[in-house]
A and B are shown apart, each in its own frame.
Chain A
Amino acid sequence: MVKTILFVDDSKSIRKAVGGLLEKLGYNVLIASNGREGYEKLDGTDIHLIITDLHMPEMNGIELIRAARKLETYQFIPMLLLTTETLMEKKREAKIAGATGWLEKPFKNEKLEMIIKKVLR
């Protein structure tokens, strides 16, 4: 079965690049440009992984993860936070909110692929 990934980032170029890459890796990709938009996509459809940027207008990545975890359908799916922070602090905050893991920007294609494999099979 083809897995569906929700990818949330406010940067158009990143959306294009990562979205394209995920599709190339054989995933079905849903795209949103901020947390609120991403949250609206969580309407009960099958989503197997959420990858979200941290700093975004309207609703940031941690807020999105926190909100998504409260939804029954998505309670247990992996969620990854995309971040440029190398600081543990943010990562902890993300974990508390319910993130499965994180991915530091910039990343290479292989790294993204590897990280996804860590949480999604």
Chain B
Amino acid sequence: MDNSNKTDSYLTFKLGPESFAGHVKNVQNILEYREVTKVPDTPSYMKGVINLRGNVLPVVDLKEKLGMELCPYTSNTCILVMNIYMEEDIVNVGAIVDHVMQVKEITPQEVLPYPSISNKYKSEIIPGVFKVNDEFVMILNLDKIFSNLETSIFKEK
């Protein structure tokens, strides 16, 4: 069987100057940024909770979670409502991103290995990269990042 024609769809977005992509299976919805209700005693990347059609959605600042430099929210700031596949069920989490770009169809051949030497993340967090208009887009394994907020996504020193 020839798998080369099978493409995967990725939603690309900006975090600061960098471009990232998440598999569309993980993205349920994109919301405009709105005020978040803070929850005391949580890690600072956990921004709080919002009302998502009558249910409570926890919201995480993805840049902060990835340990990137922060900047103020703008009118482009969005909340990605994500489906995170955990062992038994699917959990919804909101991720704050700076700017949502587009959905790209990517064939497996287009996915390049992410140079893993000296990068600070565990390798499974960024399984690969692809190029869009000469720019590298890093694929994020959203299930890995969000399925357990307590575990570090960073390489142990």
* Direct A–B contact present (CB less than 8 angstroms): no
Residues of B at the A interface (CB closer than 8 Å) are none
Residues of A at the B interface (CB closer than 8 Å) are none
